[in-house]
Structure 1
Amino acid sequence: MMEIERKFLVTSDDFKFEAEEKLRIKQGYLNSHPDRAVRVRTKGAKAFITVKGRSSESGLSRFEWEKEISTEDAEELLKLCEPGIIDKARYLIKLGQHTFEVDEFYGSNKGLIVAEVELSSETEEFEKPEWLGKEVTGDNKYYNAQLCKEPYQNWKK
């Protein structure tokens, strides 16, 4: 399955007032190679294992396969992950035909807020909310697998 999404920085907390749902997410990487990433995630009361391929040249699309697993299995797998577990809250905001997923990071990535929107094609148009800032699609430093290795709080040093 191909995933097509665009990623943006968020300029204010206004998105919180528009959110229909908020979930706590904890995730780690069993493998974070640029050609393939294997992620384990707890998301609210559910858990998943996900395999992602290398991004396209534009950074807009890449292969993604995901399977739901038990939260018990996910907790055990998280113990085997590479260093740097991601901890964040995800807010879901519907706007027009799309749902924005806004991630507010905690821990060593505190202060970073990123919004993603999934699209059906790389050229699909979508409505942009006021709080959407600079586009960072394809910038590897904003990928969760990279944030595990080089957290946001280290960028300022």
Structure 2
Amino acid sequence: MIEIERKFLVTSDNFKKEAQKSTRIIQGFLNTDPERTVRIRIKGEQAFITVKGIGNASGTSRFEWEKSIPVEDAEALIKLCEPGIIKKTRFEIRLGDHTYEVDEFAGTNQGLVLAEIELSTENESFLKPDWLGQEVTGISKYYNSQLSKKPFKLW
């Protein structure tokens, strides 16, 4: 249940040409405390509740627990979430042995595009496409829980 991922800014729309899939996501946070973030997410026709723990020193690894829940339950729980619902489209791009998840944000976070890649180990090598920009792993203002509080348009 340890998630290892790295996060990057995206420098162009070229990733869209390489995407195998895109999905609309709506998510809110019941709790944004960094030690125990609780997220409700509706991803296409599925819904999930996720608990994330605090990250390690590099921000690369942290505890994550996720369970599928009925969409109707997620819709009810989103109404209880803290202010700042996140809306985005997620593009999935397979590259080598990994899949990049590229989030193009909407609403108050419009203009922000982030790519994440999950790894098996913190030092695992991976291919870097030309649209991948500066690494922002561990920079809290790029966490969705923080974007719900201080959206990109207010930076």
TM-score (norm 1): 0.98
Q: Structure 1 CA distance, aligned partners of 2:102 and 2:58?
A: 21
Q: Structure 2 CA distance, aligned partners of 1:91 and 1:44?
A: 12
Task: Describe the superposition over 1:10-35 as per-residue Cα deviations: whole angstroms up to 9, x where unpaired.
Answer: 00000000000000000000000011
Structure 1 stretches lacking a partner, 5+ long: none
Aligned residue for 2:146?
Answer: 146
Q: Which amino acid aligns with 2:67?
A: K
**Segments of 4+ moved more than 2 angstroms:** none
Q: Which amino acid aligns with 1:53?
A: G
Q: Structure 2 CA distance, aligned partners of 1:131 and 1:73?
A: 37
Over the matched positions of the two proteins, sequence identity in percent amounts to 65
Q: Structure 2 CA distance, aligned partners of 1:151 and 1:31?
A: 17
Q: Structure 1 CA distance, aligned partners of 2:39 and 2:18?
A: 29
What are the within-5 Å matches in structure 2 for residues 42-121 of structure 1?
Answer: 42-121=42-121
Task: Describe the superposition over 1:36-63 as per-residue Cα deviations: whole angstroms up to 9, x where unpaired.
Answer: 1000000000000000000000100000
What are the within-5 Å matches in structure 2 for residues 2-17 of structure 1?
Answer: 2-17=2-17
TM-score (norm 2): 1.00
**SS of equivalent to 1:73:** helix
Q: Structure 2 CA distance, aligned partners of 1:27 and 1:48?
A: 9
What is the Cα-based RMSD across aligned positions, in Å? 0.3
Q: Structure 1 CA distance, aligned partners of 2:95 and 2:130?
A: 11
Q: Which amino acid aligns with 1:75?
A: E
Q: Which amino acid aligns with 1:76?
A: A
Q: Structure 1 CA distance, aligned partners of 2:44 and 2:19?
A: 16
Structure 2 stretches lacking a partner, 5+ long: none
